[in-house]
Structure 1
Amino acid sequence: MATKSRKYKSYQTRWKVCMVILLFISALLIFLSGVIFTNISKNWRTDALYAEDFYDTLEFRNAVYDALDDVVLADVFYESEAKIKEGEKIDREALIEGFKRYYGIIDGVITGSTEINDTYDGLEVHGIIPPTLESNFLEYQELVESRLPQYREIYIQNQLDDYRAAERALEDLVNFRYFVEDENGNILGGNATRGEVSSMDHTIMLSREFSSDNLSQDTYYPYSNYYLENSNYRVYAAVKEPLEAGDRFYDLYQDFRFARASLPYLFGVSIVSCIVFLFCLIYLIRVAGQREKGGEVTYLLVDRMYNEVHFLLVGAFALLAFFAGFSMLDTIYMETMPFWSYVFITLLGLIYIASVAVGLSYILSVTRQIKGRRFFRNTLVSALIRKISSLFTGTTFRGWMVLVMLAYGMGNGVLVFFMCMYWYSDLMLPAFLALVAFNVFCLYLFLRALRSLKKIMISARETSKGNLAYQLDLAEISPSFLNFAEDIANIQDGLKNAVEEAVKGERMKTELITNVSHDLKTPLTSIITYVDLLKQEKLVNTTAKGYVEILYEKSYRLKQLIEDLIEASKASSGNVKVVKMRVDFHQLVMQAVGEMEEKIESSGLQVKLSCPEPVYIDADGRHMWRILENLLSNAAKYSMPNSRVYVDIFRTEEHGILVMKNVSAAPIDFDATRLTERFVRGDSSRTTEGSGLGLSITQSLTELQGGTFGIQVDGDLFKAIVSMPLWITEEDELEEEEETLVQEEEPSEADEEMLQE
């Protein structure tokens, strides 16, 4: 017995579990080795494996080319701050195109007939402006005269920022030496002399006529710059060897050394992990499905799946994981924010572990079926053959139905044959009567089956209407449709259970929101009360005062979040009462701006309101107030300080439109439609106040009132658009009908000419 126990010890469940855990640990070590290698060598790609010297890497050359870009930008293109401030570096075409794009100006008859003057503060008319476009022309002219000079100043300021950024970048480089000279050899800028640059080993000289590259032995790609190629300047640059600490070149050199030193350890861990992984896999294949050697095979639920289907599902999952993994790997390579790199690495790890689990499950399933000699039996082809062979067994399809159809055809054929054979004899009439009686009997059976089908259809129709209490009497159903009727009855039972579960779930969700909101509000009210009492106490400890202020701020923020959550839930579910009335859109916006004037001014913003004509909308004033409050709060939180918020109100034939535009302080580098989702905020770091529910509430309230809400993003320009139905009275409808009749009765120009003739 002891010998037998030792013999089958390797088949025990605990050993199988240990080997599975060891297999996943080794797989995880392989993944972590790959992640670490990718992380320390992502700047070097294959250079970490093949490049012996840091100066022969692509990353070194990219760093040099980045520095050269700054040199060309600062000393070749911009040259000095004075020239930038005087406007000598303005690209007229780029300035005007950017101005038109920023203010949404579309080229047409007006822009084709006019030209912006050289001082960028007026228009010169070179064509004829049609009378119908006179108002549009005046609006365009006012926009050019009032806004274009300011846009020009912003354009120049952006150029100054680029120039100063390039200068600062060059000042931070300790190991990069350069100078710039003109075609006559006059030095125009740089941080080194000609002798210092020429004495270094890694140099590069660039000009329009001739270039020399001695940065490294391997030239990955030549340097090219449009500004330098269209100038008469020459740029000489070099990089020190050895490198000194204090700039990007030295940091890259240290990273390269660390990557080279880490490779042997990573390869060693990967090889050992691969050996352990293969050992565990072979062991699990050997003991799969058995508790002793040669014993009975125990199957799992996954083994019931057809092998072709199982293989296709595993293959589809492998392809999906492959493409998702490569996409995430590319994102990890390009991602500059460490947080998102960690997120994508975690997701990639989960996909990797899931792939290992799916692959292991498939291999062990195939192993169990091969051991149990049922691999080919559990295929779809084998199952199809068995289904065809069971046609006449009554298990899947009533075999007697096939026999009946064959008998019907043969019966008619035999009777018709006898009629033709005895056409001129006395037996023809009995044969004809037998044929008629036979077909009447078959028709009776057919109609009985159709009556059963009608009952089944009625049951299905009642089920589609929601009448799940309708019962189908299976005793009245023909045997040919009995299976179909049983399926319909099972569907009714399943739908009834599903509806009951859904109603129960909705009730539980409603109770959960109510109870949780109440349970949160009650202790929060106590917290706020006690914090207010603490604020009234004369606390001597300044640190304690600071803590009380933080508690006061966070408790009120939590209270606002709970209220926003409840309102968002009500708005999304439609559980909000809407009372529409005549609302002056312009006056409502002015009132909202006035109410929030203090908050807007504290954010350093200016609101510019434009409403050329009165706009009256059919809406609920309370909900419209909340919509405007959310939009203005959003602008105050996320707009660039000391900028302007433009609010335009106008009307179309059926709607009143509000367009609010502001410049975002943070770059909008994600899909703008996500901003209307719950808990999504423009501040990805979530350091500012707000719950991420404002725009979601705004969209829900707008749609509840029959309007639409949209978001558009152009660069950092954020645009929110609210469209609401216009208020139309009976008098307005009568006026519109009268205007239509008058327009129909007024003679056209052609009719007037005919009358004059």
Structure 2
Amino acid sequence: MDTKSKSFSHSLFAKALAFIIAIVCFTGAIYSFIDMVSNNRVGLDLLFKDNYYESQNFTSDIQDVVSPLQNLSSYKSEENIKSGGTVTDGKISSKKDVLYSDFEMNSSSYDPNLSYEENYAVFEKVESEKIAKLKDEVISDDLHAFKLGMEALKEAVSEGLLYYYSDGEVIFSNTDSIEADDFKSYPLYLISERGITNVYPLEAEVALNNFSNNFGLFSEQGSSTIYIAFKESALEKKTLEFEKKRDSLREDSLKTAGFLMGLFASFIYLLVVVGRNSFKDDSVHLSRFNKLYNDINLFLCFTTVGVWFVIMQDFFRSDSLKILMVPTALLGSIGLLLVLSMVKHIKNRSFLKHTLVYTLGSKFFGFFKSVYNSGSVAVKVVSVAIAYPLLVAATFFMFPVTIGLGAWFAYKKAKEFLAVSDGVSKIKSGDIRHTIELSGDGEFKKLADDINSLKDGLGAAIESELKSERMKTELITNVSHDIRTPLTSIITYIDLLKSESDPSKRSEYIGVLEQKSQRLKTLTDDLFEAAKASSGSIPVELQKIDIVSLLKQGFAELDSGGKNLEFKVDSSFENLFVMADGKLLWRSIENLLSNVFKYALPNSRVYLDFSESQTDVFLTIKNISSYELNISSEELMERFKRGDESRASEGSGLGLSIAKSLLEAQHGSLVIEIDGDLFKAIVKVPKYSQ
């Protein structure tokens, strides 16, 4: 049952039913409200009045009598008007001014070059006949006003309402009673004499006092006398009319409130369920109608309201209120559909993005950005020069903000330019460690990055040059030392051999000479091989090589030099094929193993491990050095560098450098790692692939 209720609450039928209820309630509320207002022109405050005296009807009935009497008193009587008793200089002067204005605008006798007095004299002469008739016009106007006042008084005075007015000269009355006591015999009366007003009953007095204070009902009373009274029948009639209007108004207001409650409930329901298929549905389902842009949607909503007001005015003039409900229901349906469509987009968080202004703006911005990013600096400058005036024109209603943003953008770019200019000056003056710091993107940021890269490259080149000079100095020193040592021995033993006659000692000297000569030959061969390897002039023939077999075969030819080293070779691989030159690869490995024999700690272990990746094969050689390795791996790879800084051991210091150059010639590499006295050499060779 619960599932069915949930599905029904979000069904199309339930939504359509709620939509119809909302339109019916909306139309009914509009009709009831307009009908209530049009039938009760005295105001909606009638709803909260308890009796006739508190209502606006009562004060209006009194005012409709008092105001005409006060106006008529100024005319006295029709005979007084005809005799010219109401004609004053002010009235004549006002009509004469109007006549002069017409003369000034339309008469050919008016001369703008003359003074006012001269033109006025011409006016009195030219318009003398009309001026002579002004008094008759004033009398005619006053007679007309007097008749209108009498008609208004006659219309205001209903049956059973008595009045008496006197200003000491003229009397206006519809009763023979002229004494205040005569009027006090009625259930409702108003007695006003010499500025003092007495009203009965008390409720009527309170209402009239409030009204008189607010609107000055008796402010022009002066010494006049006004008596007004309601007969019992007239008062009962007024009271019944008041109660009937009040009850009718209350009934209409309850009806309007009921329609509004139905409209509110159905509208809230539609707000909750629109775009959803159930209460647990998190997604918003949009229809083809919802493709209408929200700003156009909003414009149509306001247009619908405007059209309804225009139609409403036409129907009010024709008093066809019921026919008004047809366009009200139609326009209300359109408006509700548009509102619900916007509600869907609000739920979908796409209200702003689904507007025509946003869509066109984003496309224009995207196009401008693509042109800006893909173009040269000149294109970008031209694009900004064209786009900014267009932006100012489009936002003319807020141009101070647009101008301010433009000034801020120009100031920001000027700061970036000054930062780049200052940075270039510092780098030019020799501060190659200075870095130009700019945030964000843009041409100046790219320029700053390029200058920083150029500065970094310059610094690296200077550092490399200094390092090269230092290496040259050390190379000359080390080569001189390594060559001079055996050469000095050779020269010394030759001198000894010249003066020695003992055959056994001569034989010993010759052996030393042979050893030192061989040492000198090995050094020169290493120098030659290192030069060829670093220059890339060694011919390389890459082929399929089994590096495991190559290592096993080469072990038989090596001499550990009496250090009693124990080799631990990885046996997990029977074969590992690489793409290399067999001779050069073995020469590289031989140099590394020779390095082990020379510098490894006697009676220690040496580990040789194999590993592989998708593209490469790795040979790792690890041993414990017999010397303290107070040197970095980078320095150890330099020519003539030895772990034995005293250079007391055999070797040229070229083995690792030669091995590295030979491996790089075969598209491999050599990496040296030092951890305390642990020496690790990692050989990488490209793996053989079919």
Bigger relative contact order, structure 1 or 2 (CA pairs below 8 A, ≥6 apart):
2
Q: Larger Cα Rg: Structure 1 or Structure 2?
A: 2
TM-score range, shorter chain: 0.3 to 0.5
